[in-house]
Structure 1
Amino acid sequence: MEFRYLGNSGLKISEITYGNWLTHGSQVENDVATQCVRAALDAGITTFDTADTYANTAAETVLGEALQAERRQSLEIFTKVYWPTGPKGHNDVGLSRKHIMESIDGSLERLQTDYVDLYQAHRYDHETPLEETMQAFADVVRQGKALYIGVSEWNAEQIRAGAALAKELGFQLISNQPQYSMLWRVIEGEVVPASKQLGLSQIVWSPIAQGVLTGKYKPGQPLPEGSRATDEKGGAD
């Protein structure tokens, strides 16, 4: 396994990151999820990416259990905040100070850790002042609950504005998590150049287009048995 610096920071992560968006807590049974995490660790993967909204918090719980026996300092654990969680009430969504401060505590409890290496804004919140959001992230960092801050699916203008506020508040954005693959390349025009200028890495999701780019789906042929495209729990959608 090779390792890379994440953005303009001193944090090194495995160049292959293990994610659990559509698997843990939903499409894959917990014992199988644990086996997958063990296989990832055996392959040299040290970086694990999740989010509170995945399977409505269950994915974090499954990942936390699977990693519990590992040396925490040898792992890089990422999670995210924005989408509705729990009972999905009126304050259970977005990037308000209330939701961020409550969500980080919930994520840490489910992941069974004192801190996450990277805490990410899962989308841009058009209803909360950016200043409020970035101040909350600054406080999360100062409290030691997250070591670094990133974003996900922010456009170039949003990244620039967020990075400027972060700098004023004494921390930096080090990553963006966009969808990116040979079939979906929209970040190349503006997001990647802005990120390069500001020192952000891309932690891309769906790099093989949820399996479409593996070659398993042949034109004019039936879907392979047991493939994600046949999974009625979500993949078939």
Structure 2
Amino acid sequence: MTLRASDLSVRFDRDVLHRITAAFAPARVTAVLGPNGAGKTTLVRTLLGLERPTSGQVALDDKPIEQWPRRDLARRVAHIPQRASVAFAFSVREVVALGRYQADKAADAVQIDAALHAADIADRAAAPVAILSEGQRQRVLLARALAQLSLAGSAPVAGPPCYILADEPASAMDLRHTFATLGLFRALAARGVGVVVVLHDLPLVMRYADEVVLLDRAGRLAASGSVEEVMRPDLLERIFEVPFTLTHDGPTRGVLTPIPPLD
């Protein structure tokens, strides 16, 4: 019951991902880290079946992702892209409703309302998405994913494990909504949902992630494992080419701080 990449390579005009093997477990928050151009977005899109690998395979429950009917896959995996691309004058509620596939309109309405409130965007439900700030649009995309998988609420998730794959989902949010979004991901993981999230903010990884997949600039897997195993100053300095310090204060995992150059 795991989402897995096996010996995965992707090439466009150059090699973007090179022989990535990683498992993304349910009931865990897995952060995907790496420098700009490391292939993080491509990895997420390939896990979703939106990009075709040059070699290797993505599988969900040991079934190749391309063999899943799109409707069945949509019941198991939701995508939160970096930005909302809405070509028409849809309202917030209409965009969230696009995530639904059920025939039961009453159940749809309940899930849509709950998702809007969970993402703290219910007060803008009637507003056109086009007039919202980028951070508000990210909350719309969060709500759409919650509605798609019927995840709003606090009950344990019934059926086989589902996944949210999120590509920098809070990059434009204010601090309150950033913390709320990542806290929601942790709550979803506690209910059995697998969360795969691309992040650039290393302190957020230290606070909210369980596992880390670290890519280098060439799109190779530099490390994968628990936060404690991967978020080491020596390894991060090698990948990001910036020194780090890790200080411990109390029961937390510690505070990871990049050291800027003095020049």
- TM-score normalised by the shorter chain: which range applies? 0.3 to 0.5
Question: What TM-score do you get using the length of structure 1 for normalisation?
Answer: 0.38
How high is the TM-score relative to the length of structure 2?
Answer: 0.35
| Larger Rg belongs to | 2
Q: Choose between structure 1 and 2 for higher RCO, CA contacts under 8 A separated by at least 6 residues.
A: 2
Higher-strand-fraction structure:
2
